[in-house]
Structure 1
Amino acid sequence: MRLDDIGFAKLNLALHVRRRRADGYHDLETIFAFTELGDALSVAPAETLSLTLAGDFAGAVPPGPDNLVLRAAQALDDGQGRGAAITLEKRLPIAAGLGGGSADAAATLRLLNRLWNLDLPLGRLAEIGATLGADVAACVHSRTLRGEGRGEALAGLDDAGLAGTAVILVNPRVAVPTPAVFARWDGEDRGPLAEGDPIATAAAGRNDLEPPALTLAPVIGKVLDALSGVKGAQLVRMSGSGATCFALVASDSAAEAGAEAISSANPGWWVAATRLR
């Protein structure tokens, strides 16, 4: 028996950094959205836990015990000694602002919950995920959410206006480590994220990590310019701590045409057209 799932790519439609906390983390306000695109994971019964890596970006993934997939499996197992053969096909670039590792951990929790017949609700899986990383809880749900605190305090949003929206993702194949970006944040609180409709809220918001990320990887500015030039682009922004940027686009055909044009003009970049879930 083999079970399959997707570690859906995470987007921050808006990301406000409010303050640095005493525990070293930052208080955030964000709107999470998820795309249909992601890493592919599968699990099968086995006597011990193991992880096999494949895919275009597998070489950049740590294979040892620090891998978030194995950490998620161990957290869910909670010392019971269950086994599983886990395969991760890494399709998303790493250190890219797409929450790839977090999404993979979340998919592992969902898959092993089924394989091991634990029957835990998503809420409990999200609680376990929150112990692994700030974005893992949101990735367990993989739906449009408002996140606060470190990103783990979640509230559902009406995503009827977002689901199915065409989106272009572009990464210049430059890894931007999250700690380095936060280290360059200027510390200024530029105000809260508004409440209400997620599209309007996102459009009125910002990504406070975009300026410090640009100092580390100026090519992000070129990516944003390329996305802004796509016909039908409605919201163009960097996701998370970068370097992936996105454009919400008026139609699938416009997204596909825009992605093709950007890819042709910048053959070294990773470019994908997909839709929001």
Structure 2
Amino acid sequence: MGIVVMEAIGNVPGWGEKWPAPAKLNLMLRITGRRADGYHLLQTVFQMLDLCDWLTFHPAADGRVSLAMPIPGVAEAEDLTVRAANLLKSHTGCEAGVIIEVEKNLPMGGGLGGGSSDAATTLVVLNHLWGLNLSKQELMALGLQLGADVPVFVFGHSAWAEGVGEDLRAIEIPESWVVIIKPDCHVNTGEIFRSDGLTRNSESITMSDFLAGEDRNDCTQEVCRVYRPVKDAIDALSVYSNARLTGTGACVFAQFSEKELALSACQSLKDDWSVFLARGLNTSPLYGKLEKV
């Protein structure tokens, strides 16, 4: 890529700024069947949170993709943000380089989608900074190559999902305050979905059913059976509100109509648990930021 083009890219607004990679919750999860290839048929609802990792992108004249601070013990090429940037380069033929700086705030392995959200933010932001002009649908298709949850973060809105989670439709959900507990364990999602005890024949419901209160998670019973810390976290949080598992966990959450009630619960729980306070959002803060640059 020539000097003139590199200079043009470097002058695009948004370089060197912090970009949000929000967490998500699964507010409901029903397993309605299983395909012949072993994939489970799902119904789930995603909502973004204002709890975010933050990514900063710096232009690199050498055309390479790298991390400002590689994670010890993790090969740089395996980092999801690096993979996302390289996938974007290979898909479009773009020769530009980038140094990616990641500020991690989301707990790892909790089911909040941290790595997937980081990858989605990388795709969306570099699409803008590199002037690639791919559509959201194209970026979602690329994201699916990186992980099942990446497309919903590219989608960027509260979503009703069906199929194996790839069929997304926007849904408006009350933007409640949320208290999240991250138990001291990591749930093996594959193990849970392979379990003989998992419910796989739930009846399908409608968006209206969900909005009326049908918010069961079919994984909860099996996860609580295998991972006692998750059950203990649900029991602890249930004292303050209806506590639920997000996805296969390990994080559990409860929604509150008032911030003061959520803060009170956090204060009571923080000595014994790793606790996070967040607000549910229907529109990803990533797109709010993108509209301003």
Q: TM-score, normalised by structure 1?
A: 0.87
SS of the residue corresponding to residue 276 of structure 1 reads: strand
Is this contact kept in 2: 1:95–1:175, CA < 8 A? yes
- Equivalent residue of 2:275, what SS? strand
Instruction: Label 1:206 to 1:36 Cα distance change in 2 as closer, same or farther (>3 A).
Output: same
**Secondary structure of 2:68's aligned partner:** strand
2:194 to 170, 183, 200: 183
Report the residue type matching 2:219 in the other structure: L
Tell me how far apart the structure 2 counterparts of residues 256 and 90 of structure 1 sit (CA, whole Å): 23
Structure 1: gaps of 5 or more residues: none
1:18–1:190 CA contact under 8 A, matched in 2: yes
Larger Rg: 2
CA contact (8 A) 1:53 1:90 kept: no
Q: 1:226 aligns with which of 196, 214, 236?
A: 236
- Per the alignment, residue 117 of structure 1 pairs with 131
Deviation, structure 1 residue 63: 4.2
Per the alignment, residue 264 of structure 2 pairs with 257
Detail structure 1 runs of 4+ shifted over 3 Å in the superposition.
Answer: none
* Residue from 51, 56, 74 that aligns with 1:42: 56
Q: Counterparts in 2 of 1:90-239, with a 5 A limit? A: 90-159=104-173, 162-163=174-175, 165-184=176-195, 186-197=197-208, 200=211, 203-230=213-240, 233=241, 235-239=242-246
Alpha-carbon displacement from aligned partner over 1:131-190 (angstroms, at most 9, x marks no partner): 22111111112321011122111011123xx13x10001101311121122122535434
Distance 1:193 1:252, change over 3 A: farther
| Structure 2 unpaired stretches of 5+ | 1-14, 282-293
1:198 is displaced (CA, Å) by 7.6
Q: Could you tell me which amino acid in structure 2 is paired with residue 274 of structure 1?
A: A
Distance 1:53 1:6 in 2: 18
- Is the contact made by 1:51 and 1:63 (CA closer than 8 Å) also made in structure 2? no
SS where residue 263 of structure 2 aligns? helix
Alpha-carbon spacing, 1:20–1:82, altered in 2? closer, same or farther (3 Å):
farther
Opposite residue 215 of structure 1, the aligned amino acid is R
1:51 aligns with 2:67: yes
How far does the alpha carbon of each residue in 1:91-110 deviate from its partner, in whole angstroms, 9 at most, with x for none? 11122111111111111111
Q: CA deviation at 1:88?
A: 1.3
Q: Show the 5 A alignment for 1:257-276.
A: 257-264=264-271, 266=272, 269-276=273-280
The match for 1:74 is 86
Aligned residue identity for 1:66: E
1:3 aligns with 2:17: yes
**Cα displacement string for residues 181-233 of structure 1 (whole angstroms, at most 9, x for unaligned residues):** 212253543423421348525x3131111122223311111111121111xx3
Identify if the C-alpha distance between structure 1 residues 22 and 3 changes in structure 2 by more than 3 Å, giving closer, same or farther.
farther
- Measure the CA separation in 1 of the matches of 2:254 and 2:142: 32
- How far has the Cα of 1:275 moved from its partner? 0.3
CA-atom RMSD, angstroms? 2.0
Match of 2:249 in 1: 242
How many percent identity over aligned positions? 33
Q: Which amino acid aligns with 1:52?
A: A
Q: TM-score, normalised by structure 2?
A: 0.83
- Residue of structure 1 equivalent to 2:30: 16
Cα distance 1:6–1:23, how it changes in 2: closer, same or farther (>3 A)? farther
Q: How far apart in 2 are the matches of 1:29 and 1:53?
A: 38
Q: Distance in 2 between matches of 1:199 and 1:249?
A: 17
Contact 1:10/1:32 (8 A) holds in 2:
yes
